[in-house]
Chain A
Amino acid sequence: MKRFLTALALSAALASAETFVIQNATVWTMAKGKFTGSVVVKDGKIEQVGEKVMVPQGAKIIDAGGQHLIPGIIDAHSHIAAEAINEGSVSVSSMASIDDVLNPEDIAIYRALAGGVTTANILHGSANSIGGQTVITKMRWGTDAKTMLFEGGRPGIKFALGENPKRAGNAAVNVGGTPRPQRYPATRMGVEDVIRQAFIDAREYQRTWEEYKTKAANGERVVEPKRDLKLEPLVEILEGRRDVHAHCYRADEILMLLRVADEFGFKIRTLQHVLEGYKVAKEIAAHGAGASTFSDWWSYKVEAFDAIPYNAAIMHKKGVLVSLNSDSAELMRHLNTEAAKVMKYGGVSEEDALAMVTINPAKQLKIENRVGSIEPGKDADLVLYDKNPLSNYAKVQKVWIDGKMYFEREKDLADRAAREARKKGLLEKEKAAAPVQKKDGAAPRRGGPAE
C-alpha cells in the first residue's frame, strides 16, 4: 500500500510535465509499424499516436521536421550508477542489492540519456554463481536514487556461470601481495552444485515458513523462524516473484541452468550475454527464457571464442525473444547502431532490429505495459533522432522521460561555455583556498594520473 501511495505521489509530481504534440515525425511505434505523423503527450503519458491527431488546447507544438521518433531505448544489462558491483567474497550473495548503492550523480546516466537510453536494468556483477539483487531504473538525471527506480519494476537477481564465478574462486587472485582464500566453485560442475544446493536450502526455508504460517493461522503458539536474507530472494524466485538474469556464455552451461530451473520449477527470465545461445536456441525458446546479448563482442576470453555476430539473428529466427545490451557505459550510448549490426549479420529487418533495444528488452523485464513502444497509455519515454536511428550518422536530438525533457542536444551545446566558466571559477576558488605547499611536495590531489 505504501508503495502504491509513493507511486501515486510521484505520478502527481509528473503531472506537471507539459502537454505537447510532436508533429511531422517519422514515428517508429514498435507496435504498429512506422508512419509519418504526430504523437500527443499529456501528463507524462502518450495520449494519441497517428497521422492525424486532436491537438489538445494549449498544447505546445514541436515540429520534428521529418526526424525520427522512437521509444526510449532500454538496456537490459548495465552497471552504471552503481557504486559497487560485486560482493565477491561468497558464492551466493543474494542478500546484497544494487538498490543500496545506486548513485544518481553518476555522469554515465546523462551520457546514456544522450545516447537515447531511458530505462536500464542495473545488475550486480558476475563474480558469484548466485549474485546480488538488481534494480530497473529510469535515467531520471538530476533526481535522487529513489526517484530513479522504475515504479513497480519487478525485483531481479543476477546469476553467473562459466569463467567469471570460476575465476573468482581461483587462488591465483592476489591482492596487494595477499593471496585471497580459495572459494568454491572453481569449475562449471561446482557452479551447478552451488545453484542446486542453494535452491534446496531455499525450498526448506520456504517450507519452514509455510509450516509456521499454517500453525500460526490455526492459533498454535509457535516461534517465528529466523529470517534468512540470503534465502528470502531465492524463495521469491521459486514463487515467481523475482526474475533471474543469468550471465552465461557457453552452450553447455546455458543448458545446465535451464535444466536446474526446470528441476526446481521456475523460469529463467533472461540469459545475459548468452554468446553461444545460437547453439541451443531451440532449448532456450522451449524454456521461454529471453536472451540479451552483445551484437559483436568476441575473443576476449576462451568462452567468447565461439561468439559470433550472428548470434542475435539466429536466436531471433529460432523463436527466442532477443535483446541487445551494453554492459558498458560506452556501448550504452549507441545501442541503436548496435541494433543495425543485427541487420548486417543475419539479415534481420529494420524494425525487428530496433525492437531488440526497445520493445524486446521491455518484454524481458516485464515492463512492456509501460515502455518499449509508442502507443497510447504508455509512458512518454521518447527519443528524437535527426536521421534513421539505425544509421551511424544519426544522433540524438531530444529525450523525454515521462513526458519531461531530460536531454536536448541544442541546450547541451548552448550551455557548454557557461559550464566551462563555472568550472574555471571553482578551480580558481579551490586554488585560492589551498594551503601553502610545503617545499618537499605538493598537496595530495584527488583523482588518478596527475593530468
Chain B
Amino acid sequence: MKKFFVSFTLAASLAFAAANDTFLVRNITVHPVTGPKLDNASVLVVDGKISEVGAKVTAPKGVKIIEGKGLHIYPGMINSATEVGMSEIGSIRETSDTGELGEFNPQLRSSIAVNPSSEHIPVTRANGITAVITLPGGGSTENRGFAFGALNPVIVGQSALMHLDGWTWEEMELKRTAAIQMKFPTIQMLSPRAMMMDLPGAFPRNTFAEAKKSYDRRIQAMHEFFEQARRYQKGKESKQPGLRRDLKFEAMIPVLEGKTPLMIVATRNRTIRDAIEFGQKEKIKIILAGLEQLGDNAAKIKELNIPVILGETLTLPSSEDDPYDSTAALPGLLHKAGIKFAFGTFDTQFARNLPYQAATAVAYGLPYEEALKSVTINAAEIWGVADQIGSIEKGKWADLIITDGDPLETNTQIKQMFIKGKAVDLSSRHTKLFEKYMSRQ
C-alpha cells in the first residue's frame, strides 16, 4: 500500500512538473505594476494562475524553473481598442468582419468573428500584448461611414476582451461583452458618402442649419431606441403577455441596468460634450473612446468618473491651429485632470505598437508609472477584469512577459510570454519570412 502511495505521489508530481502552466521564474526583476518593483525576486505560477510573488518563494519540488537573471517580468499588456482577428487585409472587404449594416446593432457579438488563426495575433503578441478589446464597428475614430458597410452606424455591437491565445474564439474569450460600442454622430456638412470617398468637391455641401437638423434627428433616434429598449425591459420584467423576443433590445438590458458600459467613440470637443450629456440623460455607464482632445470637458469627465480609451498619441493634431504636440500631450493632461484612461490603437496593423503610444505620452508629460498602468492595470480596471489580469499579483491569470528591459521602449526584446500560464510561441509570419529569406544565398 505504501509503495503504491509513493508511486502515486511520484506520478502526480511528475504530472505536476510536466504541466506547462505551472512554473517558477526566479532571480528576475518583478514589475507588479500595482506595487514597487522587486529586484531578484520570484514569481510562482500554479495551474495558470499567479500563486506567489516575492523575494523568498519556495518552489514546489520538481516544478519547472525559469532563470531570469538580468531580465524583467511584467504583466502582459492590454490593447483597449483593436480589430485584431476581425480584419486581416485592410483593403479587402472579404477579410474584414467589422462594420455591419444598420444603425442599431447592440446584439452583434464581435468575439465570434475573431479568427483564432489570424496572422495578426502572433504578430501583435510578439510585442508583449496578451489581450485586446475588439471593435465590432471597426477602428475608425472618425464619425463617418465605414470603408465597407453602413454609412451612419450608431450602436455597432459588443466589444469583447480576448486573450491572444487559444485554439478557438471561445478559448480566447476573457469577457464576451466588455462593452457595447457606439459611434457618436457628428454634425456633417458633407454627406457621409462624400467624406468616405474623400472627395469633398464632388458632392454638394449642407448648410450648417441643415447639418444641425439632421444631427438633432439622429440624437433623437438614439433616445428613441433607448426608450424602446426600456419599454422592452419593463415588458420583460412584468412578463408582459405576447412580448416577442427581440435580440437588439435584449442586448441593451445590461446597458440599461448599468452592468455593461457603453463605449462611445467621440473625438472632438462638441461630440464629447454631447456624448457625456447623452449618457447622463439615459443614466447609463459610459466609457469615452478615441478622444483627440479634451476641450472643456475635463472637469465633467472627472466628476462623473468616466473612463477614457485614448487613441493613438502618434497621430496628427486634429486641427491646423493645435500645438504640434497636442496628441502626444493629451494623456498627460488627462492624468493631471485625474481621469482614468487606457490606450488603444483602433486598428489591426499597428496593434503591436501600443507600448510606443504610451511611451510617447511620457516624453510629453505623462509620468512613466502611469503610462505602464495605462496598458496594464488601468485597462483591466476599466474593463472590469482587474481581479483576473493587469498586474503581477496572487490569484490573477499568469499573463506575463519576460523582457530584457522597459517594454515601452522600441528596442526592448520580449523574450518569453505566458498567457494563462501557458508559454506562447513568439514566432509569427514575420519571423518565419525573416528566417526564410535571410537564408537565401
Contact = CB atoms under 8 A, between A and B. Distances in A.
A132 interface: no
A391 to B, nearest CB: 6
Contacts of B359: 392-393
B323 A412 contact: yes
Contact of B189 (A391, A394, A449): A449
Given A441-B208, A448-B190, A308 B315 contact: no
A18 interface: no
B412 A344 contact: yes
A392 B199 contact: no
A177 to B, nearest CB: 9
Contacts of B317: 111
A429 to B, nearest CB: 16
A391 B408 CA distance: 10
Contact of A300 (B212, B268, B349, B438): B349
B387 interface: no
Contacts, number: 146
Q: How big is the B interface, by class?
A: 35 or more
B410 A392 contact: yes
Contacts of B88: 299
B410 A301 contact: no
Contacts of A391: 409
B353 to A, nearest CB: 7
A203 B367 CA distance: 63
Given A308-B433, A330-B315, A450 B212 contact: yes
B360 A392 contact: yes
B222 interface: no
Chain B, interface SS category: loop
A110 B317 CA distance: 12
Contacts of B363: 392-395
A107 B320 contact: yes
A440 interface: yes
Nearest to B274: A451
A345 to B, nearest CB: 8
Contacts of B190: 448-449
B31 interface: no
Given A107-B320, A394-B363, A451-B268, A340 B348 contact: no
B433 A392 contact: no
Interface in B254-312: 268-271
B90 interface: yes
Contact of B348 (A299, A394, A442): A299
A449 B188 contact: yes
B202 A176 contact: yes
A344 B210 contact: no
Interface residues of A, number: 57
Contacts of A175: 197, 199, 202
A314 B438 contact: yes
Contacts of A441: 207-210
Given A314-B438, A451-B269, A306 B433 contact: yes
B440 A282 contact: yes
A57 B317 CA distance: 43
B142 to A, nearest CB: 9
Interface of B: 88-92, 119-120, 186-190, 195, 197, 199-200, 202-203, 205, 207-212, 268-271, 314-317, 320-321, 323-325, 348-350, 352-353, 356, 359-360, 362-364, 408-413, 429-431, 433-434, 437-438, 440
Given A282-B440, A299-B89, 18 more contacts: A298-B349, A298-B430, A300-B89, A300-B349, A302-B92, A305-B89, A308-B430, A310-B438, A329-B316, A330-B314, A330-B316, A337-B410, A390-B410, A392-B363, A419-B321, A442-B209, A448-B190, A451-B270
Interface of A: 107, 110-111, 114, 175-176, 278-279, 281-282, 296-302, 305-306, 308-310, 314, 317, 329-331, 333-334, 337, 340-341, 343-346, 390-395, 412, 416, 419, 423, 440-445, 447-451
Q: In the A-B complex, list the 10 residue pairs whose CB atoms are closest, starting with the nearest.
A: A441-B209, A392-B359, A300-B90, A340-B410, A310-B434, A176-B202, A301-B91, A442-B208, A450-B187, A441-B207
20 contacts: A175-B197, A278-B434, A279-B437, A281-B437, A299-B348, A301-B90, A302-B92, A308-B429, A310-B433, A310-B434, A330-B316, A331-B314, A333-B324, A343-B411, A395-B364, A419-B321, A440-B209, A442-B208, A451-B186, A451-B187
